[in-house]
């Protein structure tokens, strides 16, 4: 009976869940057994016809999950249950199944095969997210809005600038994942304690042939298990990525607050329900779900790091833990990426509300521009800062437009003409290099995508 939201299908894509389901896991281990038998035959350790029989029968078509579980219930060993079930299917050739190998050769190499599929899918999602962000950054390059620091109005910026920052963060995650992939996707065929003694004099060649057939690299050296720094690195990379998605989703949640109301998740007005009791509500539920799942994904970092230490050449302390961590982190991050793409594609941006929100502080957001204009006129930076600060406080206390307050100040009158005040108070004139920075981000990201073989 399904219990967890991943099991029920509430969370996770069908593609990613399939990679980690029991049937696919079994098939991956059968693939490793088949590759091992084939490699043995290539170096003359077993007859080629027997190896071919094992290769043919190493399929869930012949080795049923139910049979493997039945044997495991009797002998209390999952891999030996697999070996016996495959041997049964192979008849006389079954005596060569699992020759010279140890359980972890199957488990760890099968995990590498699963992760190969999972990382490919995650990278595809990241590429799509990057593309969506690029389009948004370009579209909103000049969508002027209030920049905020400490939650307070700071200086003018553009929504495109905000999105461009997210874009490069995602681009870095793509690079991190690609860098990690080379270290992650490694299998092994090293036998007990890693010495390959049971595989015979051609052991290194056997390992090489197995990994070539499976399309992954061989660990340079390993004990009875592949060292867990590889998996821990992936978990850390995915946790950082989850935090970026959390950051983007949190910003959207803030911008959707009625007091701000500058950006909104898409809402299907004909059917979607915002609240079971408050019909007026339009909640940022998808973004909130992303933030919630990010907490869970980050929590997987600690067990992943604690899996790195092991007693001597191996123990089983990491085994039970990884049965949760590895599928969970991949399924959740894939799902979070799907959600984030959906949110950003459907995001509604209210540019008029952005402009109105800039008026809340009555022009005081332009205090830095005024200060610098006065400094350039010879007042000096420190005196200009103090004068502008005093005028900003006066504007606030009297609830008067900042422009009117500075225009009537005697010192300002001496240094700035009315038309200069008008110019310095226009937020469109104080975007700095923001538009150009966005253009550079778009250009650089597109070049990187082209280098990765992507067309857009």
Catalytic residue positions, numbered: 150, 275
How many degrees, rounded to 5, is the angle at CA 357 between CA 280 and CA 410?
Answer: 155
H or E stretch covering 158 = strand 152-158
CB 216 within 8 A of CB 185: yes
Provide the phi-psi class of 93: left if phi over 0, else alpha when psi is between -120 and 50, else beta: alpha
* Distance from C-alpha of 28 to C-alpha of 12, rounded to nearest angstrom: 21
- Measured between alpha carbons, how far is residue 190 from residues 148, 162, 187, 202 in Å? 56, 50, 10, 12
User: Which tokens sit at 23?
Assistant: 């049937």
Residue 220 burial by Cβ neighbours in a 10 Å radius (0-12, 13-18, 19+): exposed
CB-based contacts of 217, cutoff 8 Å, min separation 6: 182, 185, 186, 187, 211
Alpha-carbon separation of residue 62 from 52, 57, 85 (angstroms): 14, 6, 9
Q: Which residues, 6+ apart, have CB-to-CB distance to 148 below 8 Å? A: 154
d(CA 332, CA 118): 11
Q: 175, 185, 145, 92: which is closest to 360 by C-alpha?
A: 145
């Amino acid at each position: 009976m399904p219990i967890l939201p991943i099991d029920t299908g509430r969370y996770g894509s069908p593609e990613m869940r399939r990679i980690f389901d029991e049937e696919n896991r079994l098939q991956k281990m059968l693939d490793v057994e088949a590759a091992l038998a084939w490699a043995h035959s290539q170096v003359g350790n077993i007859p080629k016809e027997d190896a071919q029989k094992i290769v043919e029968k190493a399929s869930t078509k012949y080795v049923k999950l139910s049979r493997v579980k039945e044997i495991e219930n009797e002998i209390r060993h999952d891999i030996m249950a697999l070996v016996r079930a495959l041997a049964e299917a192979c008849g006389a050739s079954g005596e060569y199944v699992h020759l010279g190998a140890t359980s972890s050769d199957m488990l760890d190499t099968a995990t590498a095969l699963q992760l190969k599929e999972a990382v490919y899918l995650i990278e595809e999602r990241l590429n799509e997210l990057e593309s969506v962000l690029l389009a948004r950054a370009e579209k909103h390059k000049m969508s002027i809005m209030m920049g905020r620091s400490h939650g307070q109005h700071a200086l003018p910026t553009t929504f495109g600038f905000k999105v461009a920052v997210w874009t490069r963060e995602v681009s870095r995650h793509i690079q991190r994942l690609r860098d990690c992939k080379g270290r992650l996707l490694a299998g092994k065929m090293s036998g007990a304690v890693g010495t390959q003694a049971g595989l015979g004099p051609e052991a290194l060649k056997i390992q090489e042939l197995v990994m070539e057939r499976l399309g992954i690299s061989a660990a340079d050296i390993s004990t009875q298990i592949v060292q867990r720094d590889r998996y821990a690195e992936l978990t850390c990379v995915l946790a950082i990525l989850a935090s970026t998605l959390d950051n983007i989703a949190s910003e959207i949640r803030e911008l959707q607050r009625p007091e701000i109301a500058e950006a909104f998740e898409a809402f299907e007005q004909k059917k979607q329900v915002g609240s079971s009791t408050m019909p007026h509500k339009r909640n940022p539920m998808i973004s909130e779900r992303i933030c919630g799942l990010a907490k869970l994904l980050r929590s997987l970092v600690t067990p992943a790091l604690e899996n790195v230490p092991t007693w001597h050449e191996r123990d089983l302390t990491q085994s039970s833990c990884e049965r949760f961590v590895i599928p969970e982190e991949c399924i959740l991050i894939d799902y979070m990426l799907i959600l984030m793409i959906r949110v950003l594609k459907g995001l509604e941006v209210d540019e008029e509300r952005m402009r109105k929100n800039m008026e809340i502080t009555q022009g005081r957001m332009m205090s830095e521009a005024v200060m610098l204009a006065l400094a350039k006129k010879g007042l000096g930076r420190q005196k200009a800062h103090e004068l502008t600060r005093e005028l900003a406080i006066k504007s606030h206390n009297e609830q008067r437009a900042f422009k009117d307050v500075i225009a009537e100040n005697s010192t300002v009158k001496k240094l700035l003409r009315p038309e200069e005040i008008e110019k310095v108070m226009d937020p469109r004139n104080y975007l700095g290099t923001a538009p150009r920075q966005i253009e550079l981000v778009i250009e650089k990201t597109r070049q990187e995508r082209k280098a990765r073989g992507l067309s857009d």
